[in-house]
Chain A
């Protein structure tokens, strides 16, 4: 009978399913051990408890052992640290060992030490009295109570920050009980001081709580919080159990167990009691009693309670609704009918048809129920019969989406696999839904069940990048830790397996190898890494500078190159050696120069000097001279630059720099004499300013000294004179012999400053071929036209014509056109 192991409790049923016959049966008496088991079918840790064993306390350190849920030994380790008072598991299946001085040691499932942290100095000094491991919003938390009755809390063991909770007023003896409540995203402690209840938080506040209780209470001696943190149960010294919401505002029930002794374990609505060597378990309201003949350990799960004993491992749960609907005696639910139909069908009985007819309209519901119920079964045979029923029902449906059925089959297959004795993770379907498949796979990886994990990934068609590759990477990390294997072989084995897997980070594996001190292996493995950004930092860590540099350069990512360069610079104290190393890489080299140019220009010069690039060195010196404030320094820099240019055989640059020094000195002198700014002007501008200031002699001198062409000098002088309005001087200048520019230039410069009368003066001396343009510039279009006509210049007339058209002088246009005709006809 499917319902044989059901126990009715009011209108619901409880069932107790046997999960495993423990492998440790006969070897271990739980009564003598400190025990902790992780939820979600996690591992069990045992450590001999001297006090429980009742023997004389010896100096021999106890052995700590981790078993899977089926009692199979996973790892063992002799304890070598302080006195452990409590063991527990984090949500990532890390073993937390709490010592009496508040120090917590974290181990992985294979009992490899991971890290340690303390709970503050007070805990260390006065030792701890009590402790709680709880699940907070951030992960797994730990709370300890010191012997001075203060509570310290860590919200997340991965990021241990110790906080002190508020103090309970006038607490000078051990509180009768306490627990951690997780409310409104904050962890608070509920502390019972006999009959008083206080809620204390991290902000230093406390609040007294008054749960509604019908009978008077002298002390709350035990409390337990439900898995989802929503419910709370309190156990009083009078044997009354109070169950309500965790904010203590709602009461669900109150019930007297008539047992005045403190229960050994109070789990969410299950009381475990020690009574005359008879071990019994109560489920209150109204009571269900399960009896055990030895000590059992209770593990609270999301959907039930795991009971670990010396011989068997059981799972106590409320019978899920669908299961109840199908299997309850006399159930008329569609699922139940379908299940019957399927059974009859396999017996080749026509009753099958009758049953199907009865639920014809609700067949889809029936199928759904059967599928879901299959998920809640532990026995593969039961799962099969339910799924067979579902599949039978499906035949009669035309539009039923098959996903649910397929998914369930897949999930059950996975669940059955991990429930195997060798794996020992007794997950229920509900728990798996909460835990998710990726986490399950992680847990398999933690147990080094790589093959199974990969098979599951492939079976569930999880993309390689998320599934198989990740597992392989873990496998490789594990592999490199096995020191006995040959490196060459290992590298090859790893690469063979991983090379085609997408998204594997070889650098991670390599860094694992490096941690194990296997440098050569790490280098070999790194070769397979495709991402240079991962490769390079590790190579640097291993002092493979040149390899790192070339990889960085190949990647084209200059930032990486810089990373290498700067690290190398720090490591190599001899600059010459460093330069030599980077000289081979032109890309790196020019990058380094870029960096230095901004950080330390002097180094750039040294670099150029080293490689005999005298031109570049000279340029650097010249550029640096610009930022020198002191005149003498500046000249000195330029002189040094000349030296460089000469070495580089750049006569031009050397000459120019020489000239510049000469000019600078001259300008300096001028500034001193005239108190006017001359420095930094170009040669042209210097002459210009001199001319404007009437210092023609010096201007002439510059012209000679710097070999300024005549034409330039004339043009410069003309415009300088015109700008300063020195028309006299201009005229005088125009009459010096052999001007290298035409007189039209004088006309133009006069007109530029709108001095028409001065312009007229030069007009007569303008050569005939420029006359037309000159007249036009003056604005005398009419005369220009005449002049052009006189010369019979079609071109000239054309110029006048465009000008006339542009200025809209119609009369002139006519006459010019006329002239043009006449010129043309005369030809």
Chain B
């Protein structure tokens, strides 16, 4: 799948939208789109198509200046609509003559129109929609950049964005052909798939049959709520660490460290950057080694200038190598700086001990020790998100925390970080991330499983799918031989493992028991009859498209998972494209479901 087509289409669409109104216009952009628009178009592109000034939508501003035409490029939310209405009303009060247009992304919502109506501005604006769904972030990575989805869907039960997701898949199918094998893992996934069926005009079975060149063999739609463990684990691969520490926004990273004023600047992280491509998926312990060898290599090339014999050689060197060399040197320097910052923050956060505890939680051993460690962290006022991550991990792996500890941990947590977080803890409870272990009496009435086997859901799944390698030391971190390398060899992300297992068997046979344990279960639809297997022969006939896979994460995925899927693709010869509602880190994941952020 050449994902650049998507980008090109979006550029055209954007140009069309801008040009549909003649003359100069100002663009007011929802802050969440700034980076995104940068990736699609860039400022020069916007200016070429008649954009005069570009503003960021800022809730504190009461009105704006600018030219006679203004376009708001926003997500359709009630609060944004109110903000815009305020702008218009106050500017109208000042007798400013101006045309307004509100472009809702990805589609216009009736609720928003109602809000505009009740604010009394509906008559003086033009409403349009811009169908921006999946954005190409890399050659194998698409994102909706919709971090709100997690909270609105899994916590508040708001299905609004499901429609957007289903539409985005239908769009992909329109571009790259219908996908014959669909696996829905989780409840939301199934709902998405059902909606896709409503949205696609003809039945999918017909579409697949008619399709001449199937570009995709398999589609996985994976709900985040089947696996909250993975995003909470501490990453150890380079790209994931960069995201964790600096934050990667739409593939753009800002390396400058405001505290230390270190050198940095913005850097675009895609596979087009050769150096980054070779280190992004590495275990962090390997990164520096590569960088230093690369630096040496550069130096030798640089030294070539001393051996230049003729003027012609010199000219060649200057025009070809030098430019590239400089660029590479700059990139290298940036990565070295980034590595240093990562190292620093690792030592500061007591990284070793932290990961050690995390591993024992994943392995399900010494939960007492883990709780003691967590308490100590609370006492020491360690960063609240990282403590909360451990607490949630513990709760998730143990099917909840024992009532006594549960109460204690919550009290201690609030004592340390303030009462304001209490309602957020309820949110976590509602989502089943931080819960109280059920006391046996009620467990009996609920089901036999819990009382017969004391083992937790997570442990059972983990054992069945072999998520936690028996001896983490044996996992080669240098030349990865197991998916678990993305977490120091201690754990393979469940989501990726599921993809691996299902793909390698090409069916759900013998896995039903395991899948039963996932909330929402797994649903498989095969719209094309598989090639009949010749009896007695072991070789399975594979069509080329069988190797091409699209994995769609609902509720976001981490770079660790992306790295793991890339590993899977490399080791088994698949071509995997990853789509997600947003790319999250453990911190941003928890933060997004918080009720009110502590100051």
The distance in angstroms between the C-alpha atoms of A555 and B197, with both chains bound, is 11
In the complex the two chains form, is A566's CB within 8 Å of B426's CB?
A: no
A711 within 8 Å of B (CB atoms)? yes
The distance in angstroms between the C-alpha atoms of A131 and B9, with both chains bound, is 51
In angstroms, how far is the closest chain A Cβ from the Cβ of B284?
Answer: 17
In the complex the two chains form, is A591's CB within 8 Å of B158's CB?
A: yes
In the complex the two chains form, is B595's CB within 8 Å of A590's CB?
A: no
Select from chain A the residue with minimum beta-carbon distance to B196: A556
B464 within 8 Å of A (CB atoms)? no
In the complex the two chains form, is A559's CB within 8 Å of B195's CB?
A: no
B410 within 8 Å of A (CB atoms)? yes
Q: Which residues of B contact A656 (CB under 8 A)?
A: 411, 414, 419, 422
Partner of B79, one of A598, A659, A706, A715: A598
Give the residues from 471 to 517 in chain A that come closer than 8 angstroms, CB to CB, to chain B.
none
Given contacts A623-B596, A708-B415, contact A590 B379 (CB under 8 A): no
Q: Which residues of B contact A706 (CB under 8 A)?
A: 415
The distance in angstroms between the C-alpha atoms of A566 and B117, with both chains bound, is 12
A288 within 8 Å of B (CB atoms)? no
Q: Which of A4-12, A230-238, A394-402, A678-686 contacts B (4 or more CB under 8 A)?
A: A678-686
Partner of B419, one of A590, A619, A663, A711: A663
Partner of B596, one of A557, A626, A712: A626
Q: Which residues of B contact A716 (CB under 8 A)?
A: 379
B532 within 8 Å of A (CB atoms)? no
Select from chain A the residue with minimum beta-carbon distance to B415: A683
Q: Which residues of A contact B426 (CB under 8 A)?
A: 615, 619, 653
Given contacts A556-B159, A712-B379, A715-B380, contact A595 B599 (CB under 8 A): no
In the complex the two chains form, is B160's CB within 8 Å of A652's CB?
A: no
In the complex the two chains form, is A619's CB within 8 Å of B423's CB?
A: yes
In the complex the two chains form, is B423's CB within 8 Å of A590's CB?
A: no
The distance in angstroms between the C-alpha atoms of A575 and B160, with both chains bound, is 24
In the complex the two chains form, is A590's CB within 8 Å of B109's CB?
A: no
In the complex the two chains form, is B163's CB within 8 Å of A557's CB?
A: yes
Give the residues from 365 to 381 in chain B that come closer than 8 angstroms, CB to CB, to chain A.
378-381
Q: Which residues of B contact A555 (CB under 8 A)?
A: 198
Q: Which residues of B contact A680 (CB under 8 A)?
A: 418, 420, 599
B157 within 8 Å of A (CB atoms)? yes
Q: How many residues of A contact B (CB 8 A)?
A: 45
In the complex the two chains form, is B415's CB within 8 Å of A559's CB?
A: no
Select from chain A the residue with minimum beta-carbon distance to B166: A556
The distance in angstroms between the C-alpha atoms of A82 and B33, with both chains bound, is 60
Partner of A559, one of B77, B109, B412, B596: B109
The distance in angstroms between the C-alpha atoms of A682 and B234, with both chains bound, is 27
In the complex the two chains form, is A556's CB within 8 Å of B191's CB?
A: yes
Partner of A566, one of B114, B166, B379: B114
The distance in angstroms between the C-alpha atoms of A49 and B162, with both chains bound, is 66
Q: A580-624, CB under 8 A of B: which get 1 and which 0?
A: 000000110011011100110000000000000001000100110
Select from chain B the residue with minimum beta-carbon distance to A685: B418
Give the residues from 410 to 433 in chain B that come closer than 8 angstroms, CB to CB, to chain A.
410-412, 414-420, 422-423, 426
A660 within 8 Å of B (CB atoms)? yes
Partner of A595, one of B78, B107, B416: B78
In the complex the two chains form, is A562's CB within 8 Å of B111's CB?
A: yes
A205 within 8 Å of B (CB atoms)? no
Q: Which residues of B contact A615 (CB under 8 A)?
A: 426
Q: Which residues of A contact B411 (CB under 8 A)?
A: 652, 656
In the complex the two chains form, is B380's CB within 8 Å of A559's CB?
A: no
Q: A557-583, CB under 8 A of B: which get 1 and which 0?
A: 111101100100000000000000000
In the complex the two chains form, is B412's CB within 8 Å of A712's CB?
A: yes
The distance in angstroms between the C-alpha atoms of A726 and B419, with both chains bound, is 29
The distance in angstroms between the C-alpha atoms of A593 and B156, with both chains bound, is 9
Q: A505-537, CB under 8 A of B: which get 1 and which 0?
A: 000000000000000000000000000100000
Q: Which residues of B contact A682 (CB under 8 A)?
A: 414-419
Q: Which residues of B contact A711 (CB under 8 A)?
A: 379
B110 within 8 Å of A (CB atoms)? yes
B289 within 8 Å of A (CB atoms)? no
The distance in angstroms between the C-alpha atoms of A619 and B594, with both chains bound, is 13
In the complex the two chains form, is B159's CB within 8 Å of A652's CB?
A: no
Give the residues from 145 to 172 in chain B that come closer than 8 angstroms, CB to CB, to chain A.
152, 156-160, 162-163, 166
In the complex the two chains form, is A594's CB within 8 Å of B412's CB?
A: no
In angstroms, how far is the closest chain A Cβ from the Cβ of B457?
Answer: 25
The distance in angstroms between the C-alpha atoms of A599 and B111, with both chains bound, is 11
In the complex the two chains form, is A623's CB within 8 Å of B595's CB?
A: yes
Q: Which residues of A contact B79 (CB under 8 A)?
A: 598
Select from chain A the residue with minimum beta-carbon distance to B378: A712
The distance in angstroms between the C-alpha atoms of A591 and B110, with both chains bound, is 13
B62 within 8 Å of A (CB atoms)? no
Which one of A558, A566, A659, A663 has the greatest number of beta carbons of chain B within 10 Å? A558
B326 within 8 Å of A (CB atoms)? no
Given contacts A623-B423, A684-B416, contact A556 B410 (CB under 8 A): no
The distance in angstroms between the C-alpha atoms of A750 and B263, with both chains bound, is 32
Q: A612-643, CB under 8 A of B: which get 1 and which 0?
A: 00010001001100100000000000000000
Give the residues from 527 to 558 in chain A that come closer than 8 angstroms, CB to CB, to chain B.
532, 555-558
In the complex the two chains form, is B157's CB within 8 Å of A556's CB?
A: no
In the complex the two chains form, is B110's CB within 8 Å of A562's CB?
A: yes
In the complex the two chains form, is A586's CB within 8 Å of B157's CB?
A: yes
B444 within 8 Å of A (CB atoms)? no
B407 within 8 Å of A (CB atoms)? yes
The distance in angstroms between the C-alpha atoms of A565 and B378, with both chains bound, is 45
In the complex the two chains form, is A684's CB within 8 Å of B158's CB?
A: no
Give the residues from 687 to 721 in chain A that come closer than 8 angstroms, CB to CB, to chain B.
706, 708-709, 711-712, 715-716, 719
In angstroms, how far is the closest chain A Cβ from the Cβ of B336?
Answer: 19
Q: Which residues of A contact B378 (CB under 8 A)?
A: 712
Q: Which residues of B contact A657 (CB under 8 A)?
A: 419, 422
The distance in angstroms between the C-alpha atoms of A716 and B595, with both chains bound, is 27
Q: Which residues of A contact B115 (CB under 8 A)?
A: 599
In the complex the two chains form, is B163's CB within 8 Å of A599's CB?
A: no
In the complex the two chains form, is A622's CB within 8 Å of B111's CB?
A: no
Q: Which residues of B contact A532 (CB under 8 A)?
A: 198
Q: Which residues of A contact B297 (CB under 8 A)?
A: none
In the complex the two chains form, is A594's CB within 8 Å of B158's CB?
A: yes
The distance in angstroms between the C-alpha atoms of A715 and B407, with both chains bound, is 21
In angstroms, how far is the closest chain A Cβ from the Cβ of B277?
Answer: 31
In angstroms, how far is the closest chain B Cβ from the Cβ of A659?
Answer: 7
Q: B555-566, CB under 8 A of A: which get 1 and which 0?
A: 000000000000
B194 within 8 Å of A (CB atoms)? yes
Q: Which residues of A contact B157 (CB under 8 A)?
A: 586-587, 590
Q: Which residues of B contact A683 (CB under 8 A)?
A: 414-416
In the complex the two chains form, is B410's CB within 8 Å of A681's CB?
A: no
In angstroms, how far is the closest chain A Cβ from the Cβ of B165?
Answer: 11
Q: Which residues of A contact B107 (CB under 8 A)?
A: 559
Partner of B111, one of A556, A595, A619, A719: A595
In the complex the two chains form, is B422's CB within 8 Å of A653's CB?
A: yes
Partner of A622, one of B78, B198, B381, B422: B422
In angstroms, how far is the closest chain A Cβ from the Cβ of B415?
Answer: 4
The distance in angstroms between the C-alpha atoms of A706 and B426, with both chains bound, is 21
Which one of B110, B163, B414, B415 has the greatest number of beta carbons of chain A within 10 Å? B415
The distance in angstroms between the C-alpha atoms of A685 and B414, with both chains bound, is 11
B contact residues vs A (CB 8 Å cutoff):
77-79, 107, 109-111, 114-115, 152, 156-160, 162-163, 166, 191, 194-195, 198, 378-381, 407, 410-412, 414-420, 422-423, 426, 595-596, 599
Write 22 A-B pairs (CB below 8 A) sorted by A numbering.
A555-B198, A556-B198, A558-B159, A559-B111, A562-B109, A563-B110, A566-B110, A595-B78, A623-B596, A652-B411, A653-B426, A656-B411, A656-B422, A680-B418, A682-B415, A683-B414, A684-B416, A706-B415, A709-B412, A712-B378, A715-B379, A715-B380
The 6 A-B residue pairs with the shortest CB-CB distance, nearest first, are: A682-B418, A590-B157, A558-B160, A660-B419, A598-B78, A562-B111
> Told that A556-B159, A562-B114, A712-B412 touch, could you supply 14 new A-B pairs with CB distance under 8 A?
A559-B163, A562-B110, A590-B156, A594-B152, A598-B79, A615-B426, A622-B422, A626-B420, A652-B407, A656-B411, A682-B415, A683-B415, A684-B415, A715-B379
